[in-house]
Amino acid sequence: MVVRKPGSRNDALYNQAMSHREHRAQSPTQVRCYVLTVSDSRTEETDAGGRAIVELLTSAGHEVVDRRIVKDEPDQVRAAVALQFAHERVQAIITTGGTGISSRDRSYEAVTGLLEKRLDGFGEIFRALSFEEIGPAAMLSRAFAGTAHGKILIALPGSEHAVRLALTKLVLPELGHLVREASR
């Protein structure tokens, strides 16, 4: 419990907490999302990560406007994301795949230049959560999030387990709040 003493640090913390609660209360409960899988080998049948994103979003009451798979070619990835930044119905873009460090993992380089603001805490927290589950291999992930054109972009690894971890622990609890703040 935070004790409020007017003008104190505790008072400032209390006001910040109230502001966060108020923002969440004013946030949309349904977000229109676009899901993009970046992979040279996945198909609709084998895209467990993309399927998990769709399943978790729809189970939480969000709408998946569309879902696509593109090769891990920077021009294709960049074009697919830029198209959704321009799409008026889409509020959030969630990608899976291409965030590792192999020579073919190029989503990070392809898309981060499109961002207006980066949400560094997303990647930091995701890697911390991953570390708890898989140990030091978590450092190989370059998962990231940011905003552009009043929309959210979240880029996740390609593994179904990583997608489920990110969605349940980070994305779903804050998606409406993220969209509210990015669109203001």
Which is nearest to 97 in space by CA: 36, 139, 55, 148?
A: 36
How many angstroms separate the first and last alpha carbons of the chain? Answer: 31
Q: Say whether both 91 and 43 belong to one domain.
A: yes
Considering the domain architecture, whether residues 54 and 139 belong to the same structural domain is answered as yes
Same domain? 88 vs 10? no
Q: How many domains does the chain have?
A: 2
Domain that holds residue 20: 1-29
Spatial CA neighbour of 178 closest among 154, 158, 162, 156: 154
Among 5-19, 28-42, 79-93, 141-155, the minimum mean pLDDT is found in 5-19
Residues 24 and 39 in one domain: no
Residues 164 and 148 occupy one common structural domain:
yes
Are residues 144 and 96 part of one domain? Answer: yes
Same domain, 77 and 4: no
- Model confidence band, residue 7 (pLDDT cutoffs 50, 70, 90): low
136 plus 99 within the same structural domain:
yes
User: Exposure of 149 by Cβ count < 10 A (0-12 exposed, 13-18 middle, 19+ buried)?
Assistant: middle
Task: Name the nearest CA neighbour of 164 among 125, 117, 113, 130.
Answer: 130
